[in-house]
Amino acid sequence: MTAPTIGVLALQGDVREHLATLTRLGVKTLPVRRQAELDTCDGLVLPGGESTTMWRLARTFELLEPLRARVEDKMPVFGTCAGMVLLAERLLDGAEGQETIGGLDITVRRNAFGRQTESFETDLTVAGVKDTVRAVFIRAPWVEATGPDVEVLASVAGHPVAVRHGHLLATSFHPEVNGEDRLHRLFLDTCW
């Protein structure tokens, strides 16, 4: 069986870190900036970064509708931090007119854990992952509500911070910044 090609949305954010993690895990990787690149992907990572900037650039690069179509067609997608915001069906505290790609039946509160100075790290128990995960939260969102079919994998202070629904996985935190690859492995299980 050949390894899948996993794209990383390369408009802004932690693109390099995700590409490096996925490459270490033995999959073919591809930075995605155009629809032609998206069309070659078996799975996609939406990185952490700034969700309003990513949304605006996706609109500018005419990627928003193709991204929505691929999610609707059940392409596996893993969103971290801003990527979680982009996957959410409903958004609280977004910029005026901010759109999402959608597909994940959650309501997300943008920057819920506070400003940059309130960023933190903690050890989390994540369902489906052996041992605790060191989670890095940087101006992170949290999930306010989930649809009935969304599985909560981890929570902090009563708020879901890792969720999964079928082919979609999302975390409020950044596993890519500290060398953590077990969530990427969990994601890749849906791509083979």
State the Rg of the chain over Cα: 15
Active site residues: 81, 174, 176
Pairing of strands 77-80, 168-171: parallel
Tell me the per-residue pLDDT of 85-117, one tens digit each, with 9 for 90 and over: 999 999 999 999 999 999 999 999 999 998 878
Report the CATH number of the 5-188 domain: 3.40.50.880
For residues 8 and 29, give the distance between their C-alpha atoms in angstroms, rounded to a whole number: 7
Q: What is the model's pLDDT at position 179?
A: 86
Look at residues 11, 15, 63 and name the one whose alpha carbon lies nearest to residue 39.
63
Question: pTM here?
Answer: 0.96
Tell me the per-residue pLDDT of 35-77, one tens digit each, with 9 for 90 and over: 999 999 999 999 999 999 999 999 999 999 999 999 999 999 9
Are 119 and 80 contacting, i.e. CB atoms less than 8 angstroms apart? no
CA distances from 68 to 17, 39, 167, 192 (A): 24, 12, 14, 21
